[in-house]
Each structure stands twice: as structure tokens, then as C-alpha cells.
Structure 1
Amino acid sequence: MIEHIVLIKFSPATTLKQIQELIDRTLQLKEKIPGVLDIQQGINFSERSKGYDVGLTARFENRAALENYLPHPEHQKILSFLQDIGIEDSIIVDFEI
């Protein structure tokens, strides 16, 4: 199994409504992309966040499922939306469990 972790930092101009729309869209990927076992995403409330606004965890059946997820058209729509609403930075960590 693969754990995929993403931290996202947005522009100060990004609205809470846009972030919530991102979360709503992202959570639907579990139903749209084969090999996705679970997706959780939410707004970061930690004071230790170093400016990262949103956290995501996704669990995949295996590395092949993760490799399928990255270029999948539904995931690409999310990446495009991130650009539209003002992503400034992200940190991504993948590991096997």
C-alpha cells in the first residue's frame, strides 16, 4: 500500500470558498480513479504549519495505482483548478506501508 501526502500553500488572494471547492472536488477522486483506497483532505489549523493551508492524504493499492493517479484526467482537473485559485507551493511525500 502507498501513502501519498500533500501540503498546499495558497496565495493570500485565495478564498476560503475556493479552498472548500478544492476539497469537495478532491474527495470525489476516490470514486473516479481506480486504485484509490482513501482520500482525506482538510484545512490546516496547526500553528506549526509554516504557511501551508491544506493537507491531503491519499492511500493507494500499490505504486502502479499511484502512477495511474498522477496523469489521470480527473486528477489533472484538480491540478488545473489549483493553478486557477492560486497555489504558491506544495510538498509531496510518498511512502510504502
Structure 2
Amino acid sequence: MIEHIVGLKFSEETTSEQKAEVKKMARTLKDEIPGIVSLAVGTNFSERNHGFEIGLTVRFENREALDVYGPHPKHLELVSYLKEVGLKDILVLDYEIE
């Protein structure tokens, strides 16, 4: 099983409505992309967030499913929207659950 963890940091111009749309779009990926076991997304409340506002975790069946996810049109649609609304930085961790 593969865990994919993402932290998203936005520009000051990014609105709360745009951030809500990011979360809404992310939630749909589980139903659209094969190989996703679970998906969770939410707003970071920790003061240790280093400016990362939204967290996303996606659990995949295996590495092959993660490989399908990256270039999938629905994932690319989300990535495009992130850039459009002012994504400032992204942190990604991928690891195999032991």
C-alpha cells in the first residue's frame, strides 16, 4: 500500500471560495481514478504548518496505481486549477506503508 501526502500553500490573493473548490475537486478523485483506496482532504489548523493550508492524503493499492494517478486527466485538472488560483508551494511525500 502506498501513502501519498500533499501540503498546499497559496498566495495571499487566493480566496476562501477557491480553497473550498480545491477541496471539493480533490474529494472527487477517489471516484474518478482507479486504484485509490482512500482519500482525505482538509484545512490545516496547526500553528506548525509553515504556511501550508490544505492537507491531502491519498492511499493507493500499489505503486502502479500511483503511477496512473499522476497523469490522469482528473488529477491534471486539479493541478491546473491549483496553479490558476495561486498555488505558491507544494510538499509531496510518497511512501510504502510498512
TM-score category, normalised to shorter length: over 0.9
Q: Does 1:59 align with 2:53?
A: no
Give the superposed CA RMSD. 0.5
Deviating runs (4+, > 4 A) in structure 1? Answer: none
Superposition deviation, residue 28 in structure 1: 0.5
Superposition deviation, residue 48 in structure 1: 0.5
- Give the letter for the 2:68 counterpart: N
Once the two structures are superposed, the pairs formed by residues 2-81 of structure 1 within 5 Å of their partners are 2-81=2-81
- Give the letter for the 1:37 counterpart: V
User: 3-state DSSP class of the match of 1:14?
Assistant: coil
- Give the letter for the 1:66 counterpart: L
**Distance in 2 (alpha carbons) for counterparts of 1:84 and 1:38:** 26
- Give the letter for the 2:22 counterpart: L
Superposition deviation, residue 17 in structure 1: 0.7
**Distance in 1 (alpha carbons) for counterparts of 2:90 and 2:70:** 15
**Distance in 1 (alpha carbons) for counterparts of 2:96 and 2:63:** 8
- Could you tell me the TM-score, scaled by structure 2's length? 0.97
Structure 1 unaligned spans of 5+: none
- Could you tell me the TM-score, scaled by structure 1's length? 0.98
Structure 2 unaligned spans of 5+: none
How many percent of aligned residue pairs carry the same amino acid? 48
How many positions carry a matched residue from both structures?
A: 97
Q: Deviations over 1:15-51 (max 9, x none)?
A: 1110011101110100000001111011111100011
**Distance in 1 (alpha carbons) for counterparts of 2:90 and 2:28:** 21
